[in-house]
């Protein structure tokens, strides 16, 4: 791996300094049939719970559910806006998410380790009915903040 330039290292310091523990970033989106098709195609996740109406209607959920990692991927939108490189991610799936659901993801930076230059964060994912569907925790570091906090 090559050495980063002094300018890039300065950018990393500025990005790290610009985020504080307790800061929250939020992203909301409605998941569509197209989202599920693209995600399943890219990942190869052809689970019948996601793509087969007949199978899903006779199963536990009564209809198709979207892939859990598709919902979880909402934190990558927030991460992308602050150039956040994750070093670790954990997910706990609480409730199912269905095509047409609008999910709000709120990511909060809960710990700032100045010595290691790492953040720990949590995220909650809530549907349009106010029901929590997913919990996440992750760690990593920002490299280029492009969001207004």
* pTM across the whole model: 0.89
CB 75 within 8 A of CB 107: yes
CATH architecture of the domain 23-33+67-141 equals Roll (3.10)
Domain ranges of the chain: 23-33+67-141
Q: What is the separation of C-alpha 73 from the centre of its chain, rounded to a whole number of angstroms?
A: 4
Q: Report helix, strand and coil shares of the chain as percent, to nearest 5.
A: 30, 35, 35
> Which strand (E) or helix (H) includes residue 118?
strand 118-126
Q: What is the pLDDT of residue 147?
A: 58
Rounded (10°) CA dihedral 22, 27, 31, 34: -130
CB atoms within 10 A of CB 148: 5
3-state secondary structure of 91: strand
Please write the tens of the pLDDT for every residue from 99-118.
Answer: 999 999 999 999 999 999 89
State the sign of the Cα–Cα–Cα–Cα dihedral 77, 99, 51, 90: positive
Please write the tens of the pLDDT for every residue from 115-126.
Answer: 998 999 999 999
């Amino acid at each position: 791996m090559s050495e980063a330039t002094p300018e890039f290292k300065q950018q990393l310091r500025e990005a790290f300094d610009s985020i504080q523990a307790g800061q929250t970033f939020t992203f909301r989106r409605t998941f569509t049939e197209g989202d599920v098709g693209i995600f399943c195609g890219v990942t190869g996740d052809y689970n019948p719970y996601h793509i087969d109406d007949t199978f899903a209607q006779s199963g536990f959920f009564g209809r198709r559910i979207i892939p859990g990692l598709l919902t979880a991927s909402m934190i990558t939108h927030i991460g992308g806006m602050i150039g956040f490189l994750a070093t670790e991610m954990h997910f706990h799936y609480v409730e199912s998410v269905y095509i047409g659901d609008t999910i709000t993801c709120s990511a909060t930076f809960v710990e700032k380790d100045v010595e290691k230059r790492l953040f720990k964060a949590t995220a909650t994912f809530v549907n349009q009915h106010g029901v929590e569907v997913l919990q996440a925790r992750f760690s990593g570091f920002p490299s280029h903040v492009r969001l207004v906090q």
